[in-house]
């Protein structure tokens, strides 16, 4: 169930083709960097090293995952602690966007990607 390898490979290939940007891994984003009413980036820290990051941007995409533990899995043994219900997926994207002043809608909708046996 690890799709990180696929995503990482695609990201590295895109960087090689464009020659623009860097990949930062294991950075926990704690909040938006605001410039008035505009989101101008994000601030966060490394979960492995004693480093603090300030990311400045012209545009900000929020793709930190949802709050998976808002809903209980349909069976007690299904997925807790695995990629589908990770304990670290705390709802940080909702916090980030609310802190930046975004209007949020359709929060009751839950997306579960299709899973295939042995895939």
Question: Terminus-to-terminus CA distance in the chain, angstroms?
Answer: 7
Taking 70 as the threshold, does the pLDDT of residue 116 lie above it?
A: no
Q: Is residue 115 part of a domain?
A: no
Query: How confident is residue 79, by pLDDT bands cut at 50, 70 and 90?
Result: low
State residue 52's pLDDT score: 98
pLDDT tens digits along 3-37: 778 888 898 999 999 988 888 988 988 999 999 99
CA distance 78 to 85: 9
Q: Is residue 110 part of a domain?
A: no
Q: Is residue 47 part of a domain?
A: yes
**Domain count along the chain:** 1
Which residues are within 8 A (CB) of 101 and not within 5 positions of it... i.e. 6 or more apart? Answer: 37
Taking 80 as the threshold, does the pLDDT of residue 118 lie above it?
A: no
State residue 18's pLDDT score: 92
User: Could you tell me the residue range of the domain that residue 78 belongs to?
Assistant: 4-99
pLDDT tens digits along 44-72: 999 999 999 999 999 998 877 667 777 66
């Amino acid at each position: 169930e690890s799709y990180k390898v696929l995503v990482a490979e695609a990201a590295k290939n895109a960087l090689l083709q464009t020659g623009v940007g860097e990949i930062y891994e294991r950075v926990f984003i704690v909040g938006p960097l605001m410039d008035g009413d505009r989101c101008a980036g994000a601030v966060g820290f490394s979960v492995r090293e004693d480093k603090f990051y300030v990311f400045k941007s012209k545009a900000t995409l929020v793709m930190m995952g949802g709050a998976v533990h808002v809903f209980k899995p349909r069976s007690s043994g299904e997925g807790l602690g695995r990629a589908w219900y990770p304990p670290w997926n705390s709802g940080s994207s909702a916090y980030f966007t609310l802190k930046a002043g975004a209007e949020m809608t359709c929060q009751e909708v839950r997306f579960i990607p299709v899973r295939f046996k042995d895939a």
